[in-house]
Structure 1
Amino acid sequence: MSTGVLLAVLGAAFFHAAWNGLVKSGTSKVGGMAIMTLIQGIAGGAVALFHPWPAPEVWPWLLLSGAFHAGYKLFLAFAYEQGDLSRVYPIARGAAPMIVLLVGPLVLTDVLSAAEIAGILLLGGGIATMAAGSLRAREARRLVPYALGSAAMTAGYTIVDGSGARVAASAAQYVGWLFLLDVAIFSPLVTWLRGPALWRADRRTWAVGALAATFSYGAYAVAVWAMTVAPIALVGALRETSILFAVLIGWGLIGERVDRWKSAAAVLIVGGVAVTRL
């Protein structure tokens, strides 16, 4: 992976953590996620207008990805209703590279070096440390299955989108259509689960949702592009440096407590990123 791609992925990781912080800080986590998804879908539609209709071989990837993204957002919003950003986010994001590493050899052609595999495993150690801290702190146990459900969805769309974008006309075309399908799947689902009152949010909630959508769209567009020029599993792992950013945002902006478990997990995560560059 080149230095330019590395820096782009790290920048995307920061903005991914930032939009999660915005959703977590809102009064309605599910409502904030729904508004963000709606605005992303509108932006995706605008982008799609300037690109050709996806080829037939791209549609299976797009449809499967839309389902994974909808499940990811639903699990993540439910997890944020149960626990801190600096606890939920590391578990939700950090378990995903481990799943990609285990499943990837069965469905992907990318070959990782020994250092890259070691880095991903070190990232996994950081996630295990974070999860252990959650249990020791006796926080809401329900956040763990929701966070792991989100991780499973993340692993699914990482593999699907990395492969789908490689057969699409461009990463921009793929992401635009993806977010259109995402809103088409997620919005009816979340309305059915929480009712139409979900959309009657105040002006501040809509503004936060719009800002979160901007961060999310940009971050994922960069990530999908990176997966077309670098190994998918490696890009997926490097994106999880957003865990460190999320811990810092939770501590500095939301006022969450950072104990020694969170600190140790952050060190392991940074170490994992460093090892992948050896």
Structure 2
Amino acid sequence: MTPLVAAAVLVAALTHASWNAIAHTIKDQLAAFTLIGGGAAVIGAVIACFAPLPRPAAWPYLLVSALLHIGYQALLMRSFSLGDFGQMYPIARGTAPLVVTVLAAVFVGESLDIWQATGVAVASAGLLGVALWGIRGRTKGATRNGPHWPALLAALATGLSIAAYTVVDGVGVRNSGSPIGYIAWLMILEGALIPAYALSTRRARLLAQLRPHAVLGLLGAALSMLAYGLVLWAQSRAPLAPVAALRESSIIVGAAIGALFFKERFGTPRIAAAGLMVVGIGLMLHTTG
């Protein structure tokens, strides 16, 4: 992983946390993801007019990835409706890196050197620390006897879907011959279904429900496409596991957004966990020196 790739993934982490915060801000989650998905599909269609088509070998991965992304968005909507942003977002993102490491080793044949493997493990420990600190009694619906399990299970399932599409797209973009074309067609395929579902269920009411959130939702769409476009570009130039772990530094950004804008507590334990994340990033980049 070169410094340029690392920088691209860190920018992706910032923009990803930002669009997720926008989605959480819009209380009508179906309206939020209709605007974000539909806006990204429109942007993707414009880009597809100028980018080369992905090679035929990439299309099966595109189709599977689109289905996985739709499942991810449905689970993310469920998570945001049940829990705090500062808790659900870190859990959803924090479960992915270690799962990606295993999947990449099994299905892609990637192996990490000792520094990268240690870095992924340390960074993942930091990510999970950010995610799990204070989980008891802090999730919506939690009781004195424990956390609100439906919210936590939705967040964990979201993390597993993230790991799945990360590996699928990592292989697909390498077979595409056109990372820009791949991301454009992925946005078209995945972005059209949620708006279609919203239109079929809400019909004439949909436009009026979208209008108050249009600017914010379309901003989220642009940030969403930029975030994943940078990740796909990075995946075409570096191993999947370190990219996945570094990408999830968005958890730190998400926790900070939760503290600053949603008045959710950050706290010393999460600062310590963020320190682990920084150490892990340093270890992952060690081999570039």
**TM-score above 0.5:** yes
Per-residue Cα deviation, 1:250-271 (whole angstroms, up to 9, x for no partner)? 1122222223443333233233
Per-residue Cα deviation, 1:123-172 (whole angstroms, up to 9, x for no partner)? 33234334443532342322211111111111111111111111112100
The equivalent of 1:13 in structure 2 is 13
The equivalent of 1:112 in structure 2 is 112
- Aligned CA distance change for structure 1 residues 210 and 133 (closer, same or farther; 3 Å): same
CA contact (8 A) 1:68 1:153 kept: yes
> Which TM-score applies when normalising by structure 2?
0.89
Q: How far apart are residue 189 of structure 1 and its match?
A: 4.6
Measured in 1, the distance between the counterparts of 2:248 and 2:138 equals 25
The equivalent of 1:23 in structure 2 is 23
CA contact (8 A) 2:9 2:231 kept: yes
CA contact (8 A) 1:13 1:239 kept: yes
Measured in 2, the distance between the counterparts of 1:199 and 1:117 equals 49
Per-residue Cα deviation, 1:31-52 (whole angstroms, up to 9, x for no partner)? 2122100000011111111234
CA contact (8 A) 2:91 2:132 kept: no
- Aligned CA distance change for structure 1 residues 31 and 67 (closer, same or farther; 3 Å): same
The equivalent of 1:229 in structure 2 is 237
The equivalent of 1:201 in structure 2 is 209
Task: Give the aligned length.
Answer: 277
The equivalent of 1:240 in structure 2 is 248
Measured in 1, the distance between the counterparts of 2:132 and 2:14 equals 24
The equivalent of 1:60 in structure 2 is 60
CA contact (8 A) 2:87 2:139 kept: no
Per-residue Cα deviation, 1:190-211 (whole angstroms, up to 9, x for no partner)? 566x644455425341111100
Q: Unaligned 5+ residue runs, structure 2? A: 141-147
The equivalent of 1:51 in structure 2 is 51
Matches for 1:33-52 after TM superposition, within 5 Å: 33-52=33-52
Structure 2 counterpart of 1:258, from 245, 250, 266: 266
CA contact (8 A) 2:31 2:209 kept: yes
The equivalent of 2:172 in structure 1 is 164
> Which TM-score applies when normalising by structure 1?
0.92
Q: Unaligned 5+ residue runs, structure 1? A: none
Measured in 1, the distance between the counterparts of 2:53 and 2:96 equals 31
The equivalent of 1:148 in structure 2 is 156
3-state secondary structure, aligned to 2:236: helix
- Root-mean-square deviation (CA, aligned residues, Å) is 1.9
Measured in 2, the distance between the counterparts of 1:275 and 1:48 equals 37
Matches for 1:62-101 after TM superposition, within 5 Å: 62-101=62-101
Measured in 1, the distance between the counterparts of 2:221 and 2:215 equals 10
The equivalent of 2:183 in structure 1 is 175
Residue 270 in structure 1 maps to residue 252 in structure 2: no
Measured in 2, the distance between the counterparts of 1:81 and 1:198 equals 19
CA contact (8 A) 2:94 2:251 kept: yes
- Aligned CA distance change for structure 1 residues 198 and 93 (closer, same or farther; 3 Å): farther
- Aligned CA distance change for structure 1 residues 28 and 257 (closer, same or farther; 3 Å): same
